[in-house]
Structure formats: structure tokens, C-alpha cells
């Protein structure tokens, strides 16, 4: 039986987390509901690829028995779905870390929003569709409304409802309805250890769920307000360790709290942290979870942007502009996962993409100019005959 003293369990597979754990000298076990890419298996002590069960089930009891034999140092969640599962496993195996109560507070949007209200944060009106008649919710909120699943990551399966007939029973079953927020969206990425925020960054959602810019360029008073809200939520939620990703809106009525996640963000923000600040964000995350020291660069060296590529649903007819992207001096990373003839499915969340472009510059104006230039050069044409830079799917607009 494997008896290493420095073995950790990562719940959920994220390539960056695995690479960081290996670099820090840890042996790694991964529990992932889906299969793990074969090229990574040689780096792992063991893998579990079964659905996350109820921990009182016979399957879970058997898995926990096997995990106990590894003398784990820590159990760390890397994805949204894994946050509560990891907390329950820690409880079962008597390991330290974020408690089940805190994990649920940062995962279940209904519990989260109630806790944020108790902390004194301003929220958009919201209702649990399972607790109140739909007609009453619509009467109180009006249209449009946003329907979210209570226990999925922030961007996943959000539906914007403009009329009653657009509501389905599936939306209502586990849905949380929110009044649509008109405002500028930002996020705050924080690294926390022993209850102290050691680093935080504010990201601008330049095109929500498509292009993010880090760090955001903000007036001093607005920056201070956002940092204050972030600290309020982390303190009230009693988050003691790890990494948080808080989303908010700047509106005419002030700062509106959106939600908070207790795990590394998607949307290539971990890459942007390294491009802008010069430190390995994945190693920083693991150090926060493992109680290890980490040196943060507090001042951004460059302004960076992540552009998530997804042309919308359809069949790829033509791709142009790839050479221009590869040769552009500000492009630091580029991946295109699709080819002509590929069938692309509808995008359900920021974790789903057809590729990405990462850029970094010393000046924001230079970065914006390059983004605009690349948007004109890269054309991904679907059978809908909409090029990428004109496609409603790029800009988050409702397609007629």
C-alpha cells in the first residue's frame, strides 16, 4: 500500500492544479467524475472516476476506506461541483480545511445570498422558484429575469427570460430567479490564509463571459468600495483559507453583490494572474490550502486580457486570421480547438470554449487596440453565416 506522507487528493481535475502540486513535491490522487486525460495518468498515484456519491452510500464508504490508507495530507476542491464534496470528505477522514457549512455557503446560491444579505451587502431582488408561485415571482421582479441553478458555477446554464412562455419546468425545478442587473460586471480574485486576505485583484468583464481584462482600471473610490465588499463577504462567510472568486456589478444604485466561489476561477483568469503579476496562481492556491508560505507580487507588472473563443452553435464553414494572431507581439497564448467541418454545441458556461487568446501589454490602451485589431482579423464562419466578431454569441446578446 502507498504510504507517502505528502499525498493530496484533488477533487475535480484542473491541469494547473496538478502541475502545481507536482512542482511543490506532492504525490497526487484525483477524484473526477469524468475520465481524466490519459496523458496525465502517469503522474498520479491513483484516480477515482465515479460520480460523487452520497458519503453514506456503500460506494462512498468503500472509497473513503481506500483513501484512508494513503494517509492524505489534504483534500482540495478545484471545481465548483467538488467544493461541498471535498468538505464532506475532509470531515469523514478527519482532515482540516474548509468546513461543510462554509462550503455550502459558498456553493448554494440561495444560502449564499441570504448570508450576503445578513452581512449587509446590497443584492438584486431574488426568489427561489421552488418556494413561491412563478406568477408571484414575475409580478415582483418583472421581465427580464435571470434564472440560475442553485448549485452550479456562476456562469453555467444561466437563462435570461423575457416572457412567461420561455419558462420551462426544468428552469423552475431548481431555479433561482433574479431581477436582471443593468451595470458593469467585475470579479475579485483573493488568496486567503489563516483568515487573512494576502492578495486580491479586481478583474473587469470587458465583454462578460468573453473578454476579461486584469487588473481593472478604476477610480480610487470605486476600487476601495469593491475591496471593502470583498472583505465584508469573506469575513462574514468565515472563509479562512483558499482562493475566492467574487462577482459583482457596478450600477447606478451602487455596488451589487453577485456571488462568490471558493475555488479557482475559470475563464483563464489563473493565466491572467501570472501574466499580470508574475506569480504562479496555481501554486499560490495550493499554498493557501496547505498552509504553506507564498510570496505575492502586489503590483501588476502588465495589464492582460483573456478572450474566450466560441462562435455559437453550428457547423464551422471557414476560419481566417489565425496567422495574424500567432504573429501578434502581444499574444502570449493561443489555442484553437476547432477546424472546418466541426459541429459546435451551444455554450453553457465559461468553462466551455473552442479556444482562447491571452494578451499582455504595458498599457491598457495598447491592449485594447490589439483586442480590437484581432477581433477584426479572426473570422470563424458558421453555417449560420455569422462571422465570429459579428456573432451574437460573442457578445452575450440574445439571438433572434
For 369, residues 6+ apart whose C-beta sits below 8 A from its C-beta are none
Residue 107 lies in a domain: no
Classify residue 320: in a domain, yes or no. Answer: yes
Same domain for 153 and 212, yes or no, is no
Same domain? 284 vs 196: yes
Whole-structure pTM value: 0.90
Domain boundary among 140, 161, 179: 179
CATH of the domain at 319: 3.30.470.20
* Sequential pLDDT tens for the chain (400 residues): 333 469 999 999 999 999 999 999 999 999 999 999 999 999 999 999 988 877 778 888 888 889 999 999 999 999 999 999 999 999 999 999 999 999 999 999 999 999 999 999 999 998 888 787 777 888 888 888 888 887 776 555 677 777 777 766 555 665 788 898 999 999 999 999 999 999 999 999 999 889 999 999 999 999 999 999 999 999 999 999 999 999 999 999 999 999 999 999 999 999 999 999 999 999 999 999 999 999 999 999 999 999 999 988 899 999 999 999 999 999 999 999 999 999 998 887 767 899 999 999 999 999 999 999 999 999 999 887 555 544 444 433 333 2
Asked if 12 and 78 count as a contact pair (C-beta separation under 8 A), the reply is: yes
Straight-line distance from the first to the last Cα atom of the chain, in angstroms, rounded to the nearest whole number: 59
> Residue 19 maps to which CATH number?
3.40.50.20
Locate cell 460586471: which residue?
185
Q: Clarify whether residues 331 and 269 are in a common domain.
A: no
Same domain, 277 and 309: no
Do 198 and 279 belong to one domain?
yes
Q: Report which of 284, 95, 107 is spatially closest to residue 189, judged by C-alpha positions.
A: 284
> How many residues are given for the chain?
400
User: b vs e for 52-67, b when ≥16 Cβ sit within 10 Å of the residue's Cβ?
Assistant: beeeeeeebeebeeeb
Burial (CB count <10 Å: 0-12, 13-18, 19+), residue 352: middle
Total domains present in the chain: 4
Domain residue limits at 26: 7-97
Query: Looking at the structure, do residues 187 and 269 belong to the same domain, yes or no?
Result: yes
Asked, for residue 297, whether it belongs to a domain, the answer is no
Amino acid at each position: 500500500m502507498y504510504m507517502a506522507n505528502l499525498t493530496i487528493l484533488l477533487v475535480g481535475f484542473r491541469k494547473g492544479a496538478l502541475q502545481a502540486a507536482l512542482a511543490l513535491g506532492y504525490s497526487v490522487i484525483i477524484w473526477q467524475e469524468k475520465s481524466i486525460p490519459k496523458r496525465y495518468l502517469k503522474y498520479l498515484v491513483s484516480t477515482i472516476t465515479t460520480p460523487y456519491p452520497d458519503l453514506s452510500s456503500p460506494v462512498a464508504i468503500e472509497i473513503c476506506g481506500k483513501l484512508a490508507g494513503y494517509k492524505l495530507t489534504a483534500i482540495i476542491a478545484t471545481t465548483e461541483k467538488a467544493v461541498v464534496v471535498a468538505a464532506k470528505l475532509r470531515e469523514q477522514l478527519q482532515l482540516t480545511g474548509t468546513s461543510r457549512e462554509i462550503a455550502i455557503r459558498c456553493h448554494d446560491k440561495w444560502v449564499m445570498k441570504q448570508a450576503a444579505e445578513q452581512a449587509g451587502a446590497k443584492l438584486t431582488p431574488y426568489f427561489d422558484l421552488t418556494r413561491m408561485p412563478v406568477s408571484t415571482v414575475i409580478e415582483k421582479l418583472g421581465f427580464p429575469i435571470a434564472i440560475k441553478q442553485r448549485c452550479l458555477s456562476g456562469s453555467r446554464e444561466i437563462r435570461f427570460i423575457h416572457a412567461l412562455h420561455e419558462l420551462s419546468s426544468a428552469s423552475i425545478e431548481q431555479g433561482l430567479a433574479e431581477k436582471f442587473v443593468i451595470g458593469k460586471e467585475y470579479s475579485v480574485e483573493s488568496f486567503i490564509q489563516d483568515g487573512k486576505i494576502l492578495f486580491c485583484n479586481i478583474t473587469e468583464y470587458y465583454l462578460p463571459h468573453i473578454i476579461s481584462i486584469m487588473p481593472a482600471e478604476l477610480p480610487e473610490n470605486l476600487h476601495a468600495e469593491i475591496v471593502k465588499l470583498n472583505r465584508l463577504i469573506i469575513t462574514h462567510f468565515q472563509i479562512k483559507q483558499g482562493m475566492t472568486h467574487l462577482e459583482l456589478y457596478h450600477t447606478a444604485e451602487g455596488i451589487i453583490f453577485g456571488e462568490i466561489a471558493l475555488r479557482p476561477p475559470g475563464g483563464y483568469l489563473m493565466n491572467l494572474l501570472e501574466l499580470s503579476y508574475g506569480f504562479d496562481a496555481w501554486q499560490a492556491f495550493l499554498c493557501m490550502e496547505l498552509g504553506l508560505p507564498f510570496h505575492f507580487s502586489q503590483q501588476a507588472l502588465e495589464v492582460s486580457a483573456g478572450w474566450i473563443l466560441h462562435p455559437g452553435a453550428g457547423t464551422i464553414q471557414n476560419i481566417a486570421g489565425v496567422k495574424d494572431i500567432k504573429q501578434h507581439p502581444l499574444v502570449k497564448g493561443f489555442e484553437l480547438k476547432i477546424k472546418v467541418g466541426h459541429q459546435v454545441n451551444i455554450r453553457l458556461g465559461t468553462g466551455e470554449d473552442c479556444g482562447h487568446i491571452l494578451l499582455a501589454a504595458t498599457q491598457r490602451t495598447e491592449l485594447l487596440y490589439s483586442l480590437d485589431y484581432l477581433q477584426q482579423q479572426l473570422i470563424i464562419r458558421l453555417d449560420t453565416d455569422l462571422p465570429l466578431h459579428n456573432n451574437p454569441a460573442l457578445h452575450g446578446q440574445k439571438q433572434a
